[in-house]
Structure formats: C-alpha cells, structure tokens
Amino acid sequence: MQGKGLRGLSIATAATLVTAFALVFFYAPLDADQGFVQKIFYLHVPMAIVALCGFIFGGICAIGFLRTRDRKWDLRSYVAIHLSLILGVGVLITGSIWARASWGHWWVWDEPTLVSFLIIFLLYACYQPLRFSIEDPDKQARYAAVFAILAGAFVPLNFLAVRLAQPLAHPRVLGASGNLPSSMEFVFLVSLAGMVLLFITLWRYEMAAKQTRMRLKSLRQRLLSS
C-alpha cells in the first residue's frame, strides 16, 4: 500500500527519459562552437536544477517537521537531501567533463554556478555525518531539520556572493535558456522533465522502502512483546 501508483510513475519516468535521450542524440542540433560535447548540457543542467530544488525541498520539509513534529516530514527531508547529494556528485562530474571539453581544464574557478555548487555540495556532505552521530532518534530528527533549514537558506545567499565575485560575468555559453534556439530549448525542457520525474520516482521508492521497514520493525516488536 506504500507503493501505490509507483508502477505508473516508473513507466512515465522511463518513457520520458528515453524520449529525452533520443531527442538529445537525434533531434537537437549540434552546437556550432562546441560540437557534440555540448550535449552533456542536457544532462548536467537538469541534474543541477533538480539537485538544488531537492536541497531546498529538504529544507521546506524540515520546516514541516519542526512545526508538526511528525516523523514523516523528517523522513521526507532526509530522503530528498540524500538523493540530491547523489545527484550532486553527478553534477560535479558532468560539469567537470564539460569544462574539460570546452575550456580545456577539469576545473574552472571562473564559472560561478559550478563553484557555488561545489560549496553547497561540501556543506550538505556534512548532513549525514551530523545526523548519524546523534543517537537519540528524536534529537537526531530535530538537529537534522535545523541543519536542513540553515543550509536551504544558504543556497541562494551563496549563489549571490559567488556570482558577484566574478569581475565580469563569464560568457555564458548556454546558461540562461533565454538565448537558446527553440529546438534546443524544447529538448532541454524534456530532459528537465525527465530528471524531475526521475527524482520524484526515486524519492517515492525510497520513502516507501523506509516506511515499510519502519512498519516491519514495529510489527516485529509487537510480535516479540506479546
């Protein structure tokens, strides 16, 4: 009963992702400057957007936890941040590959978005060490929620500060979708939708698994105590 609707969602996700990749490789035009490697943009940027939204969603769920004290909200926040961290690794790797291909270095400090993302990633990398070095489950949820709120608010502030630190804005190849050709923009939007669906599906699976495990534990305890 936990996994209600998960099958349909999984099918929709798989279909959207397959469509997105088909469009990326067979429909989207080759970039005039960068050529084939620019196609990593359709993976890297949606992943970054979804990861950042996941971090902020984790913060919002944490507010929900502190207001209601319902463990479900804590679980939501934890799963969202956990998944976003995994996506974050992907963002840093794909960003690095893209930087290598288009600027010749594995890491460029004058790309403010990537640098901000690294700082945010380093901050969120402390979430799990913090969480799991507190034993009391109630306290663990509370402290993790406070951290998630602080870090969620830190995300936009950090972007602002790092952005301002660039003497002149780096020529944004394909940063803002405003200057994309419409065919590229369409493919980008499909990829973004696929990534959002992927996140939601994984999040729902993880939530269902965690809730089932918790239920199993409580049932077993009841069985043992009776």
Residues that bind other proteins (CB under 8 A): 66, 119-120, 122-123, 126, 129-130, 133-135, 139, 142-143, 145-147, 149-151, 153-154, 157-158, 160-162, 164-165
CB of 120 to other proteins, least distance (A): 8
Residue with tokens 């499909």: 190
Q: Is the dihedral of CA 156, 160, 162, 166 positive or negative?
A: positive
CB of 30 to other proteins, least distance (A): 37
Looking at the Cβ atoms of 155 and 197, the one nearer to other proteins is 155
Helix, strand, coil percent values for the chain (each to nearest 5): 80, 0, 20
CB of 44 to other proteins, least distance (A): 22
Please state, as a whole number, how many other Cβ atoms lie within 10 Å of the Cβ of residue 195.
Answer: 24
Looking at the Cβ atoms of 139 and 213, the one nearer to other proteins is 139
Distances (CA, A) of 109 to 69, 95, 117, 129: 42, 12, 12, 28
Q: Name the β-bridge partners of 31.
A: 35
Looking at the Cβ atoms of 145 and 184, the one nearer to other proteins is 145
**H or E stretch including 110?**
none
CB of 213 to other proteins, least distance (A): 24
CB of 73 to other proteins, least distance (A): 13
Closest by Cα among 183, 166, 185 to 175: 185
* Amino acid at residue number 173: V
Looking at the Cβ atoms of 89 and 130, the one nearer to other proteins is 130
Looking at the Cβ atoms of 3 and 64, the one nearer to other proteins is 64
